[in-house]
Structure 1
Amino acid sequence: MATEITVGLDIGTTAVKAVAVDADGLVRARARVPHELRVGAGGGFEHDPERAWGEGPRAALRALGSAGRDPRGLGVTGMLPSVVAVDGRTRPLSPAPLYGDARARSGARAVTPLDSREGETLLSWAARGWPRAHAYLPAQAYAMAALGAEPVLDVFAAMAFYPVFDGVRWDPDRLAGLGLDEKQVPAVAPQPGLAVGRIGDTVVTGAGADVLAEHLAVDVSEPGEAFVICGTTLVTWAVTASPPPAAPGLWAVPHPSGDRCLLGGPSNAGGLFLGWARRLLADAGSAGGAGDAGRGGPEPGGVPVWLPYAAGERSPLHDPGLRASLHDLDLTHGPAALRRAAYEAAGFVVRHHLDLAGCRTPRRVVVSGGGARDGEWTRALAECTGAVVECAAVPEGAAYGTAWLARMAAGLETSVPDARRWYRPGRVVRPRPAWTEACAARYARFRELSAHAAAARSGPIDP
C-alpha cells in the first residue's frame, strides 16, 4: 500500500494545502504554505501568481518530504475563478485577480453558479489588457505548468468560465468575441479523475474545482444533513432530495452520489471576515478599555450582533456593495464579546442558508476546512444552528478529495462516489443549551438587520 501514495494540492485564497494519502485514506504527510492575499481599496482581490500559484505548490510538494516524492498520482485543485495572462514561457504578464475582485463583477445577480459570469468577465478583462498574451490561465492551470505538466482543466473547473466554456467545449464564437482562440485557453478533460499527462513517473489528473473536491471524501449524503466548509470562504450545503425545493438566493448543484442535490452557496463571512475581525480585536484588546475585564469571556446574553459584510456578500444576498456593521453595543462589551459576535455572525450565515434550504433542524452538520481546527468557530457554529457539529478528521477537504481523483487517474480507483470510504469523523462539538437559547434571539435580530441592510440598497426582499 505504501507504493499507492497519491498527492492532492489545493490552491486556496490564503494558502496552498497539500496532502499525501495512502490507499486507506490515511494522510502520510501534509503541508500548508501561506501566501499573501492582496486586498485593494477599489475592490481589488488578487494574488502574486508566481508566489501563490507557482512557488506555493512547488514548496508544498517539497514540504511533504519523502511521502510526496514520485507519488503514483497527483492532482491540483483551487478556488474559482481566477486568471492571469502569461507569455510563452508561462511568466505572468498581468495581475492575477480572483473571484470577488471588482474586475470580475459582471453586474449579473448570481441566482445559480453559472449566472455570476465572473470567469467570463475576468477573461474579457485580461484579453483587453494583454491581447498579445500567449495564454490566459486560472490558478490551477498555472500551477500544473509550474510543476512541469500540461495546464489541463477538468470540466468542472472550466465551467467557471461559462458561457465561454459551454459545458462541453470552449465556444469558438464567444472566444472570438473576446479576441481569443482556443490555443490561448487551457485544454479541458471531459470529467474529473482522468489522466491528462505525467511528471516523470507520476500520473497527473486534470486541474479541478475546490467546491467539487471538498465533497468527495465526506460522507454527507442524507436529506437533513449539512456540510459546511469553514475556509477563507464560508460555504454551506444542505443535502436535499432531487429536485430541490425553491430557495431564493441559494445555489443548487448535484450531489456526488448523483441522486440528490446540494442546496446552499458561498459567503464572505468565513476566514476572510474572521481573520480581519480578529486582527481588529487584537489591537483593541492591547489598548485596554471597558467591558470583559477580569470576566474570562462574555455571558450567553452579553454579546452584540455583527453583520459580517466587510467584503460584501455572496449567497444568499448577492450584493458586493454591502458593508459590515456592529449593533446593540453597550459599555459591558469588550473585545471578548466582540470576538464571540464575529464567530456568531459566521454561524448565523450558515443558519440562514440552512433555513432557506428547508433544513431548519439539521440532523448532522459536518465541518471541513481550516476552521474545523478552530474551537471558537465550531463552538459558535454548533450553538448558532443548535446542531451537533462533527469535524472531519482531515480538514484539508479539497486537497484530500483531489488525492482520490489522482488515484483514479493512476488506475487505482474507478468511481468518484467511492471516495466516501475515506471519510473519518474527528472532534464532535455539542451546543450548550444556555448559549443556544441566547443565539436564537440574536439570530432573529441578525435576520432583521440583514434584511434591512439589503433592502436599503436594493429594495424589499424576503427576509
Structure 2
Amino acid sequence: MTPVLDAGRGEQVTVGIDIGTTSVKAVAADADGVVLARARVPHGVQSPTAGAFEHDTDRAWRDGVIEALRQVADGLDVAAVNVSAMVPSLGAVDADGRALSPGLLYGDRRGRTAENDPSEPGDSGELLAFLGWLTEHAPDAAGYWPAQAVANHALTGIGAIDSTTATTAYPLHDFVQWDEERAAAAGAAVAALPQVVPGVTPVGRVLDGLPAAGALVGGGAIDAFGEQAVAGADQTGDVLVIFGATLITWSVLDDEGKAPGLWTLPHTARGKFLIGGPSTAGGMFIDRVDRWLAPATREELEALDPTDLPIWLPYARGERVPLHRPDLRAELHGAALHHGPAALRWAAYEATGFVIRHLLDLAAPAGSAPTRIVATGGGTRSEAWMHAVADTTGLPVDVVAVPEGAALGSAFMARCVAGLEHSERRFGPGLADGRRWARTERRVEPDDRWVAPAAARYDRFRELTARATS
C-alpha cells in the first residue's frame, strides 16, 4: 500500500481513541508503540429507567473525543487518528451530527426482540431493534449512527464507519451493504445510516480548527478488536481477557471450534480463531460493589482467610455470554457477620475469575487448552483483581504494559490508515503486525494457598448459577 501522507508531516506519530462505557481514552504512540501521551475523559453511563443503558451522545461520542484528542495531540505532529468504540451502539443525530436522542448501548432493553440471536457475535438483531426505537422517537433525524460514526463526523464532517464495525449490525448490514428492506421496515432510509469505508481506508482529515488538524482519520474499529491487535495473545494456549466495564474473554484456537453459548471469531493472527465472548462481570460490577461497600485496606485484603469467603453471582445487569439472560440479578451467598468489606470485595474479584473459568471450561471441547491469561484493560491496575483471577483459574496472568489496549490498538490501525504498515494480511495492510507493540509489564502467578479453596468455591458458584438460571 502506497503511503498517502503529505511530505513533511510527522509520519511516525498516530493517535488511537477509544470510546468506552465510562470514559474516552486516547494515546499517542510512535512507530514502536511507545506511548508519548495519554488521556482519559470521563463521561459515565446512564440508566434512567429499568433496563436502560445509554450515553449522553454529544458528551461521550463527540465532545469527549475531541477533548481526548486535544490532550494527547498537543505539541505532536499527528499523521493519523482512529476511533474505536463498543458495539452495538446507536443514536439519532441532526444534520450537524448533534444528538437528538440518547446513545443506546449494548444490552439496553430497547434492543431486545423475539428475533434476537444472542448466541451470534454482536448480539445479532440488537442494533436493528435500536433503529426501530430511534425512528419512532426521533423520526426527523438526519442520521442514525453508532458511536464511531458520530465521532468521525465530529472530526471530519463525515459520518462513516469501517466495514468490520458495519458487519456487527447484521442483519441490518448484510456484510456487503445496508439492507434497504430491513432499514425501511425499521422506519429509516439507507441514506440515514452511516457511510461504510472498507478496512483501513481513510474517511477524511481532521477539520481545521480542531486538534491535529489535517491528520488522516480512519473509519474506526471495534474496541475489542483493537485490544486483540496489540495484546500479543496469539499463540495456542493464550487467553485474552479484557478487564473493561465489560469483561471479555477470548481463548485462542487453531481451528474454528464451536461451543454452545460462546462466540467464535477469526483472530488477527493468521490461521487462528477466538472463542468466548463478553460478560457483564467486569468493571461495571466491580465498581458497583465498590459503591455498595465501605473501603478496605490492603492489609485487610492480605489478611483474608483463603477458606472463608462468600460467593457473588455477578449479574447486576443480567449476563451475556454464556448465559444470555438479561433478567438475572446479582446475588451474594454465604455472607456472615464476621465478613467485612475486604471479604466481600475479594469475593467480587473471584466471581470475575469464576466467569472466566466457566467460559474456558465450555470452550475446552472446541479445542481450547489454556496455559496463560493475557490481561488488558483498565481493571489490570488492580493488583488484587489480577491475583484473584490467577487463583480462581489456576493460570498465570501476564498483564500488558499499556492498559488502554483498545486505544493503543486503534493507534496501530491509524498507522495502517496512514499507509505506514505495508504487509498484506487478511484484515488489511499490516494490521496483524500489531503484535510487535505487545509488551508485558508483570506476571501474576496463582497462589497455592488460594487455588484449592477457590476451586471449591467455583464448584459452588456453578451450582448457584445453575439454580438461578433454571
1:241-274 deviation line (CA, Å, top 9, x unaligned): 2121x31111000011241210000000000100
Instruction: Give the match for residue 426 of structure 1.
Output: 441
Gap change, CA 1:133 and 1:447, over 3 Å in 2: same
Give the whole-Å Cα distance in 1 for the aligned partners of 2:402 and 2:171. Answer: 35
For 2:63, the aligned partner's letter is E
Instruction: Give the match for residue 282 of structure 2.
Output: 270
Bigger shift: 358-367 or 127-136?
358-367
Q: Secondary structure at the match of 2:406?
A: helix
8 Å CA contact 1:384–1:443 kept in 2: the answer is yes
For 1:99, the aligned partner's letter is Y
Instruction: Give the match for residue 289 of structure 1.
Output: none
8 Å CA contact 1:297–1:337 kept in 2: the answer is no
In structure 1, the gaps of 5 or more residues are: 287-291, 456-463
Instruction: Give the match for residue 312 of structure 1.
Output: 318
Gap change, CA 1:227 and 1:388, over 3 Å in 2: same
Deviation of residue 168 (structure 1)?
A: 1.0
Is structure 2 residue 92 aligned with structure 1 residue 85? yes
For 1:264, the aligned partner's letter is G
Give the whole-Å Cα distance in 2 for the aligned partners of 1:240 and 1:297. Answer: 39
Deviation of residue 201 (structure 1)?
A: 2.5
Deviation of residue 295 (structure 1)?
A: 8.6
- For residues 35-46 of structure 1, the aligned pairs below 5 Å read 35-46=43-54
Instruction: Give the match for residue 99 of structure 1.
Output: 106
1:320-341 deviation line (CA, Å, top 9, x unaligned): 0011111112222111110100
Q: Secondary structure at the match of 2:231?
A: coil
Give the whole-Å Cα distance in 2 for the aligned partners of 1:281 and 1:310. Answer: 15
Is structure 2 residue 15 aligned with structure 1 residue 7? yes
Instruction: Give the match for residue 121 of structure 1.
Output: 129
1:346-401 deviation line (CA, Å, top 9, x unaligned): 11101111111117762111000001111111111111111110001111111111
Deviation of residue 41 (structure 1)?
A: 3.7
Deviation of residue 114 (structure 1)?
A: 4.8
Q: Alignment partner for residue 28 of structure 1, among 17, 33, 36?
A: 36
Give the whole-Å Cα distance in 2 for the aligned partners of 1:360 and 1:328. Answer: 32
8 Å CA contact 1:118–1:160 kept in 2: the answer is no
1:32-69 deviation line (CA, Å, top 9, x unaligned): 111121123421111111111111111111221535x5
Deviation of residue 101 (structure 1)?
A: 0.8
8 Å CA contact 2:57–2:101 kept in 1: the answer is no
Is structure 2 residue 158 aligned with structure 1 residue 150? yes
Instruction: Give the match for residue 269 of structure 2.
Output: 257
Deviation of residue 176 (structure 1)?
A: 1.8
Deviation of residue 182 (structure 1)?
A: 2.1
Is structure 2 residue 386 aligned with structure 1 residue 378? yes
Instruction: Give the match for residue 184 of structure 2.
Output: 176
For 2:352, the aligned partner's letter is A
Instruction: Give the match for residue 353 of structure 1.
Output: 359
Gap change, CA 1:4 and 1:40, over 3 Å in 2: same
CA RMSD of aligned residues (A): 1.9
Instruction: Give the match for residue 233 of structure 2.
Output: 220
Give the whole-Å Cα distance in 2 for the aligned partners of 1:24 and 1:371. Answer: 24
Instruction: Give the match for residue 426 of structure 2.
Output: none
Is structure 2 residue 280 aligned with structure 1 residue 280? no
For 2:268, the aligned partner's letter is P
Gap change, CA 1:295 and 1:396, over 3 Å in 2: closer
Deviation of residue 144 (structure 1)?
A: 1.3
- For residues 418-457 of structure 1, the aligned pairs below 5 Å read 418-455=433-470
For 2:383, the aligned partner's letter is G
Gap change, CA 1:109 and 1:449, over 3 Å in 2: farther
Instruction: Give the match for residue 198 of structure 1.
Output: 205
Give the whole-Å Cα distance in 2 for the aligned partners of 1:80 and 1:410. Answer: 25
Instruction: Give the match for residue 248 of structure 1.
Output: 260
Give the whole-Å Cα distance in 1 for the aligned partners of 2:345 and 2:454. Answer: 14
Q: Secondary structure at the match of 1:282?
A: coil
8 Å CA contact 1:7–1:20 kept in 2: the answer is yes
Instruction: Give the match for residue 327 of structure 2.
Output: 321
Give the whole-Å Cα distance in 2 for the aligned partners of 1:334 and 1:448. Answer: 24
Give the whole-Å Cα distance in 1 for the aligned partners of 2:220 and 2:73. Answer: 22
Is structure 2 residue 146 aligned with structure 1 residue 138? yes
Gap change, CA 1:51 and 1:8, over 3 Å in 2: same
Gap change, CA 1:295 and 1:230, over 3 Å in 2: closer
- For residues 27-66 of structure 1, the aligned pairs below 5 Å read 27-66=35-74
Aligned residues: 446
For 2:379, the aligned partner's letter is G
Q: Provide the identity percentage.
A: 47
Q: Structure 1-normalised TM-score?
A: 0.92
8 Å CA contact 1:293–1:334 kept in 2: the answer is no
Gap change, CA 1:142 and 1:293, over 3 Å in 2: closer
Is structure 2 residue 369 aligned with structure 1 residue 364? no
Deviation of residue 70 (structure 1)?
A: 4.2
8 Å CA contact 2:242–2:375 kept in 1: the answer is yes
Give the whole-Å Cα distance in 2 for the aligned partners of 1:91 and 1:204. Answer: 19
Instruction: Give the match for residue 427 of structure 2.
Output: none
Gap change, CA 1:64 and 1:81, over 3 Å in 2: same
Deviation of residue 116 (structure 1)?
A: 3.2
Deviation of residue 296 (structure 1)?
A: 5.8
Instruction: Give the match for residue 417 of structure 1.
Output: 432
Q: Secondary structure at the match of 2:156?
A: coil
Instruction: Give the match for residue 236 of structure 1.
Output: 249
8 Å CA contact 1:195–1:206 kept in 2: the answer is yes
8 Å CA contact 2:252–2:368 kept in 1: the answer is no
In structure 2, the gaps of 5 or more residues are: 1-8, 207-212, 423-429
Deviation of residue 196 (structure 1)?
A: 2.0
Gap change, CA 1:295 and 1:31, over 3 Å in 2: closer
Give the whole-Å Cα distance in 2 for the aligned partners of 1:35 and 1:154. Answer: 24
Give the whole-Å Cα distance in 2 for the aligned partners of 1:32 and 1:307. Answer: 30
Deviation of residue 148 (structure 1)?
A: 3.1
